[in-house]
Amino acid sequence: MTPLESSTLEENSTVETKDAKELIQEVLQVYPDKAKKKREKHLNVYEEGKSDCGVKSNIKSVPGTMTTRGCAYAGSKGVVWGPVKDMIHISHGPVGCGYYSWSGRRNYYIGTTGIDTFGTMQFTSDFQERDIVFGGDKKLAKLITELEELFPLNRGISIQSECPIGLIGDDIEAVAKKSAKEIGKTVVPVRCEGFRGVSQSLGHHIANDAVRDWVFPQHDKEKKAGNIPEGTPYDVAIIGDYNIGGDAWSSRILLEEIGLRVVAQWSGDGTLHEMIKTPSVKLNLVHCYRSMNYISRHMEETYGIPWLEYNFFGPTKIAESLREIASKFDETIQAKAEEVIAKYQKQTDEVIAKYRPRLEGKTVALMVGGLRPRHVVPAFYDLGMKLIGTGYEFGHNDDYKRTTHYVEDGTLIYDDVSAYEFEQFVKELQPDLIASGIKEKYVFQKMALPFRQMHSWDYSGPYHGYDGFAIFARDMDLALNSPTWSLIGAPWKQIDE
Amino acid sequence: MTQNNIDNIKDHAQLFHQDEYQELFANKKQFEGGHDPDLVAQTAEWTKTWEYREKNFAREALTVNPAKACQPLGAILAAVGFEGTLPFVHGSQGCVAYFRSYFTRHFKEPFSAVSSSMTEDAAVFGGLKNMVEGLAVSYNLYKPKMIAVCTTCMAEVIGDDLQAFIKTSKEEGSVPQDFPVPYAHTPSFVGSHITGYDNMIKGILSNLTEGKKQETTNGKLNLIPGFETYIGNLREIKRLASVMGIDYTLLADNSDYLDSPNNGKFNMYPGGTKLADAADSINAEATIAFQAYSTTKTREYIETEWKQKTYVTRPVGIRGTDEFLMKLSALTGKPIPQELEDERGRAVDALTDSQAWLHGKKVALYGDPDLVVGLVQFLLEVGAEPIHIVVTNSNEAFETELRALLDSSPFGAGATIWGGKDLWHLRSLLFTEPVDFFIGNSYGKYLWRDTHTPIVRIGYPIFDRHHLHRYATYGYQGTINLLNWIVNTILDELDRNTIIPAKTDISYDLIR
């Protein structure tokens, strides 16, 4: 039983798919002129052979559109810093930001929460009116001494600025320096106020810069003192894997199996110590380019560490990535990479044999953050599915350039898509599956369309690596082939419609 | 091979327990720079002590795991209770993404709201341009009947003036002059989400009722739910009022918005209180609020501006529901029908059936002030003993009211009200003075893990259990739901504690 048997869907499925460019123009009609001019630059259709997707990106969202984007704080605290498990991340400002981002992302970690790790906790300075009026620096300094007393095993502290901090002129850098001396630990001030930039993306950048300015000096100091061991020729770091549902672990296992030594995870299940040691690795392996290319480039320029983007979604890309990673090392690693690919062949074949026939030819529309709108596409292809539209919440031009390697001619591209546009596109194109975020999920499920969250893996995962691919396949199948979709629409209504 | 059975694909809940991953975790430790496991264990033990509790309660600047959110969250929950209403949050855009996610995760429903997406330039020049454009765009795209504006802390810190901005936007043609754009300033550094609810309801009512005062009353009662996250409660209130034959206006009714039928079509604005009905609420006989501390300013406004009587009743538990029905009866002269008396009898019957398992049980609870008062009403009438009551967004009037309620019963004698405290305080309380179970939202699961105190999930948000928000906690039927959740948690826990064969299972009883 497929969703197509539902009464309401039949009605729509008879509509002929319009030319995608016409569709874009039609959808734009409802905007006021000024907003229409802005939005039309963000929507296009990919044409084979072009070097980008023909859309503008990383531009301010148009007010009132119902953008899905978040803010710089979300990019720094929620994405980059939050998962560093042995540090305490203070949501500095009013209570809300820390509350809404508390345990929201499932960055898995091993540790005793509240004792030596702090990932699923919320620490806040809970600003009151007097803090806005008189400034929050004193409160912050006091708060850090209280943290130190109650959570003595923390390895360091980051101060994640919320909107008011930058507006009231607080000097969190001064507090950070003074407090760091007092408690003898790393204290990192992060200027990720939510009004900075146009999306989460600037928050990633600011967070990367804070690592550069407040963490790496410790590496340099330790290095000078001779406390950083030379390491092995096989030392690598995983950069830009937030270990959602355990993704970094199902990736790490493969890297270790091919003979590499993973010295650090950035930042899922990562520690401050791992970050400090990273400038001594031989190669940085970058999964989420969007959120951590900045620190990778910095390490390349300053420490001469090359970096390599890889993709562990789906067996095609996993094998390709393993070979490319191995090619940067000697023959033993290359031989092991082949062994590992061969070892998992049976597992992969079984997954594809079971699920591909159930998913073959199904179409998917994606809309995710800064990496997955392209990165997960090959995993869908491995299962015989087709991509009909994709777009980023906060991608940049370099992301759309990279996207060209993943999409086919005629794919609809939407940047920072508004709720209105997305709904209209989906209504017209009728994909079999939508893969996007929590805010979109129930909109489309109400339209009788199967949906999977592609930020949180819909509470499942991991999806990275060979082990993750099996789960990915299972989950796409259970979404698409659930019998519940066929219940939508009362049977006595089918004749009328 | 870690996925070695294609018919039993293991996700995170099992995959990582396997040897390959356990080895990976052990191996990773060498890079982490972690602490000696003995030190971690010792420190963990230390956090359970009275000494730690004293340090914990001595903190002045730090908040850890608070049980409160910020104003605009409450404001937009109020807004979506009105017909065709689009919440518009003026300020940084990230807040709206958070609010929408936060409601969607709880209700598992769409939640639509827009932002004026202010950035650095707006921080310098103010957000007027964003408001003018945002209102025009959202009006055209989403075709609302009303746009309800509130603020983020960014707009508040820079001092944006909503009244002036909305006026200018209308002059510039963003929306028609007669299109309702009520507003509320909702600074997140004042109060909490319940304050925001209050401000928005007041803002909407004062906008819609302007110039609508008639000579005579419309004979209706206004019912204000407050920051209500149980759809079942809204439906129960409506049902009870209908059974009583009472003409009412629910201000506002977001039950259809937050629990809409799946019929294959997405409707952005299901249900909601008709704007005309809301406008006419100024002519009602009286107003009943089901929460006091999320309606303080609204009730004051209704009393002073509308010259209308307002009352607060919380229909939780038997006596709470009795009071509500008697209030309805007193205000309308309508008798309480036999049907409801029978319902009452059935609920009382259920309580007496289970009383032995609840009598003298020690309880901790946390949540919003009104939720806590309602739950304490219920706990006291079944003979359970509230011990630790943590309310992060407390206030003086609430504490006085709750103290009086506790003092009214011998079962309330052991209770301490911990106003302004958070869940890390509660953790210390549960370790040093253990209780039999506690009541809280999903964040309570961390307390369950750490202290092994069984949790009954009541409150907001509830993210890790499905559909609880569909039930009522109000009315006689809601009383049975509360009883069911609590008593069966106790019985589940008893089974869990008596399940080891040949050791504890002597008490693993079939009949309880």
Quick: pLDDT tens for B131-172: 999 999 999 999 999 999 999 999 999 999 999 999 999 999
A173–chain B nearest CA distance, Å: 18
> What's the whole-number mean pLDDT along residues B264-278?
98
Which of A114, A163, A443 has its CB closest to that of B157? A163
Q: Cα(first)–Cα(last) distance of chain A, in Å? A: 20
pLDDT band at A3 (very low <50, low <70, confident <90, very high): very low
Judge whether B226 and B372 are in contact, CB under 8 Å.
Answer: no
Q: Which residues of B touch A139 (CB under 8 A)?
A: 61
Has residue A496 got a pLDDT over 60?
no
Which of A115, A194, A488 has its CB closest to that of B154? A194
Tokens 């400002």: give the residue.
A93
Q: Which residues of B touch A280 (CB under 8 A)?
A: none
Whole-angstrom CA distances from A162 to A169, A191, B94, B95, B188 are 12, 8, 11, 11, 11
Residues of B catalogued as catalytic: 153, 157
Q: Does B138 touch chain A (CB under 8 A)?
A: yes
Cβ distance B102 to A489 less than 8 Å, yes or no, reads: no
pLDDT band at A18 (very low <50, low <70, confident <90, very high): low
| pLDDT given at position A15 | 40
SS3 A413: strand
How confident is the prediction for chain A on average, in pLDDT?
95
- The verdict on whether omega for the bond into residue A462 sits within 30 degrees of 0, i.e. cis, is yes
pLDDT band at A8 (very low <50, low <70, confident <90, very high): very low
Judge whether B433 and B363 are in contact, CB under 8 Å.
Answer: no
pLDDT band at A493 (very low <50, low <70, confident <90, very high): confident
Which of A69, A446, A474 has its CB closest to that of B97? A69
| pLDDT given at position B312 | 98
Phi-psi region of A489 (alpha: psi -120 to 50; beta: other; left: phi over 0): left
Rounded Cα–Cα distance for residues B218 and A349 (Å)? 72
Cβ distance B6 to A197 less than 8 Å, yes or no, reads: no
Cβ distance B62 to A471 less than 8 Å, yes or no, reads: no
Cβ distance B98 to A74 less than 8 Å, yes or no, reads: yes
Which of B12, B34, B134 has its CB closest to that of A64? B134
Judge whether B378 and B479 are in contact, CB under 8 Å.
Answer: yes
pLDDT band at B51 (very low <50, low <70, confident <90, very high): very high
pLDDT band at A495 (very low <50, low <70, confident <90, very high): low
- Residue B164 phi/psi, 5° resolution? -65, -40
- Residue A238 phi/psi, 5° resolution? -90, 120
Q: What percent of chain A has pLDDT over 90?
A: 95
More confident residue, A1 or A206: A206
How confident is the prediction for chain B on average, in pLDDT?
98
SS3 B269: coil
Beta bridge partners of B222: B249, B287
Inter-chain Cβ pairs, chain A and chain B, closer than 8 A: 351
pTM score above 0.95 = yes
Summarised one tens digit per residue, pLDDT across range B207-255 is 999 999 999 999 999 999 999 999 999 999 999 999 999 999 999 999 9
Summarised one tens digit per residue, pLDDT across range B347-400 is 999 999 999 999 999 999 999 999 999 999 999 999 999 999 999 999 999 999
| pLDDT given at position A12 | 41
Cβ distance B93 to A69 less than 8 Å, yes or no, reads: yes
| pLDDT given at position B2 | 84
> What's the whole-number mean pLDDT along residues A256-276?
98
Q: Which residues of A touch B450 (CB under 8 A)?
A: 113-114
Q: Which residues of B touch A244 (CB under 8 A)?
A: none
**Strand order across the beta sheet in which B286-289 lies:** B248-250, B221-224, B286-289, B309-312
Judge whether B418 and B395 are in contact, CB under 8 Å.
Answer: no
Q: Does B260 touch chain A (CB under 8 A)?
A: yes
Q: Does B6 touch chain A (CB under 8 A)?
A: yes
ipTM of predicted assembly, 2 dp:
0.98
Has residue A338 got a pLDDT over 50?
yes
Reported as half-sphere exposure (CB side, CA atoms, 13 A), residue A487 has a value of 6
| pLDDT given at position B62 | 98
Rounded Cα–Cα distance for residues B185 and B236 (Å)? 31
Q: Which residues of B touch A277 (CB under 8 A)?
A: 31
| pLDDT given at position A85 | 98
Annotate B163-190 with DSSP letters as a single string.
HHHHHHHHHTTSS-TTS---B----TTS
Sorted by sequence, the CB contacts under 8 Å of residue A84 that are 6+ apart come out as: A158, A267, A270, A271, A272, A275
